[in-house]
Every structure is written in C-alpha cells, then in structure tokens.
C-alpha cells in the first residue's frame, strides 16, 4: 500500500493509503499539474501544462503540449512507466489530459484521464 495523494485521512483517523495502480496514476497527476518552481526542494519538478491553457488554441499548441507532457513524465517517472500515448484538450476553463501508459513493474497497460479546472 502507498500513501494516498492528495494526503488524506481514512475513516479511522490514520493516513489514507491507496493501491499500487492508483498510486501510479496519482504520481502522473502530480507531475502534470504541478508548476515548475512550486516545490521548494525540487524547483524543476512539474510540467507547466496548466499555463498553456491560456495560449491560442491550434495544432501547434496541441503538439507542443503533448511533447511537454511526454517529456515531463519521461523525466520524472521513467523508472516506473512507459508513456504510450498522450492526448490533451482544453475546453473552456478545463484542461483534459489522457495518458496511456504501461507500468514497468507489472507490464499492465493503463489509461489515466485527468482534468483540472482553472481559476
């Protein structure tokens, strides 16, 4: 069992835990939705993808965003997953990211569909 992200408590008041598969998905979410500079001891951690929602939409932006997501996941989670595909879309003030990946430990192919609303 792994500590749940975002940190929480379970019904008994102890630190909430999660399954291995859910933990990997939570790590992907952390990398994608953390802005570089947000973590004090890891200033390069994150992807900066949330900043791109305000850029003009188009194929160039979509390609750049996919590259940004893939490279951030490769940098921070290469020892845990292999990224098979990434799809990014922005609808109104919501960023949608779909990551298809293979967990190296189990060889299992997974899909993480992540959303983040913007202020």
Q: pLDDT-derived band of residue 6, with 50, 70 and 90 as boundaries?
A: low
Mean pLDDT of the 9-28 span:
86
Residue 79 token pair: 């020892």
Angle (CA) 89-81-54 rounded to 5° is: 20
Q: Please tell me the predicted confidence (pLDDT) of residue 97.
A: 83
Q: Is 45 helix (H, G, I), strand (E, B) or coil?
A: coil
Q: Please tell me the predicted confidence (pLDDT) of residue 28.
A: 93
Report the C-alpha gap between 81 and 68 in whole angstroms: 16
For the chain, give the mean pLDDT: 84
Report the C-alpha gap between 77 and 99 in whole angstroms: 13
Out of 3.40.630.30, 3.10.450.40, 3.30.930.10, 3.90.850.10, the CATH code matching 2-117 is 3.10.450.40
Task: Mark 33-56 as b/e (b = at least 16 C-beta within 10 Å).
Answer: bbeeeeeeeeeebbbbbeebbeee
pLDDT in tens, 45-67: 998 887 776 666 666 767 778 88
Q: Write down the domain spans for the chain.
A: 2-117
pLDDT in tens, 81-90: 999 999 887 7
């Amino acid at each position: 069992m792994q500590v749940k992200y975002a940190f929480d408590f379970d019904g008994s008041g102890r630190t909430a835990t999660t399954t291995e598969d859910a933990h990997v998905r939570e790590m992907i979410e952390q990398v994608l939705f953390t802005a570089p500079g947000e973590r004090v001891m890891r200033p390069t951690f994150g992807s900066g993808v949330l900043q791109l929602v305000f850029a003009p939409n188009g194929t160039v932006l979509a390609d750049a965003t996919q590259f940004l997501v893939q490279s951030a996941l490769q940098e921070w989670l290469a020892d845990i997953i292999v990224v098979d595909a990434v799809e990014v879309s922005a609808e109104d003030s919501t960023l949608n990211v779909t990551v298809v990946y293979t967990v190296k430990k189990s060889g299992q192919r997974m899909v993480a569909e992540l959303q983040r609303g913007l202020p």
